[in-house]
Amino acid sequence: MQLLDRDPRVTKAVREQVIGGIHDLDAVTAFNPENWAAFWIKGKGYQVLGAHEAANKEFKASFDIQKKNPDVAREYASSCLELGHGAEAVRVAQHAIEVTPDDAGLYANLALAFCIDGKNIEAKKAVEQALMMAPQDKISQAVRGVVDDIIAGKRRQPKTMADLNKKS
């Protein structure tokens, strides 16, 4: 599984296991279409396979069922950013903040969503809120640097997370 931005080594055997696991979970969600956790895990499986559209579909299904878990919202928003669905990522990130307003990381995520959505001033406000809540957070500090570079024209306006990770 891809957790905490660590890419797993996807060998042929791992790929087959993940595909088998997704297939098994398809049976679970067919039997119980309200099982948000099964949809979420399928999304994680599709992430491992690099199938971003499929992962997004599963994370959306999970989020549609379970809106009170900020991690469900976080994964759905993240998958939206991979695909360049900035407005949807903003909506979901804002919802996550409503659920857990004291989580500084959610504000950093909202800043990234605003960047992808082309709303750089809003991104700046969101990351500043994150840093006000957790001044030493390295991720929020890095996000602030990216936002500042976009606003200053040192980086191109990103449309996806892949764009955001480019230095140009």
> How much is the CA Rg of the chain, to the nearest whole Å?
17
Residue 19 and residue 85 in one domain: no
Is residue 82, in this structure, part of any structural domain at all?
yes
Q: What is the domain extent for residue 31?
A: 1-55
pLDDT given at position 11 = 85
Kindly write down the DSSP assignment for every residue of the chain, as one continuous string.
--BTTBPP---HHHHHHHHHHHHHHHHHHHH-TT-HHHHHHHHHHHHHHT-HHHHHHHHHHHHHH--S-HHHHHHHHHHHHHHT-HHHHHHHHHHHHHH-TT-HHHHHHHHHHHHHTT-HHHHHHHHHHHHHH-TT-HHHHHHHHHHHHHHHTSSPPPSSHHHHT---
Residue 29 and residue 79 in one domain: no
Residue 31 and residue 101 in one domain: no
Is residue 60, in this structure, part of any structural domain at all?
no
Residue 48 and residue 71 in one domain: no
Residue 51 and residue 75 in one domain: no
pLDDT in tens, 62-95: 999 999 999 999 999 999 999 999 999 999 999 9
Residue 164 and residue 112 in one domain: yes
- pLDDT for 4 beyond 50: no
pLDDT given at position 3 = 44
State the total domains in the chain.
Answer: 2
The domain spanning residue 106 has which CATH number? 1.25.40.10
Residue 112 and residue 48 in one domain: no
Residue 42 and residue 18 in one domain: yes
CA–CA separation, 67 and 82 (whole Å) = 20
Residue 43 and residue 74 in one domain: no
pLDDT given at position 8 = 58
Nearest 5°: phi and psi at 129? -65, -45
Residue 77 and residue 126 in one domain: yes
pLDDT given at position 83 = 97
**With a threshold of 0.75, does the pTM exceed it?**
yes
pLDDT in tens, 8-43: 578 888 899 999 999 999 999 999 999 999 999 999
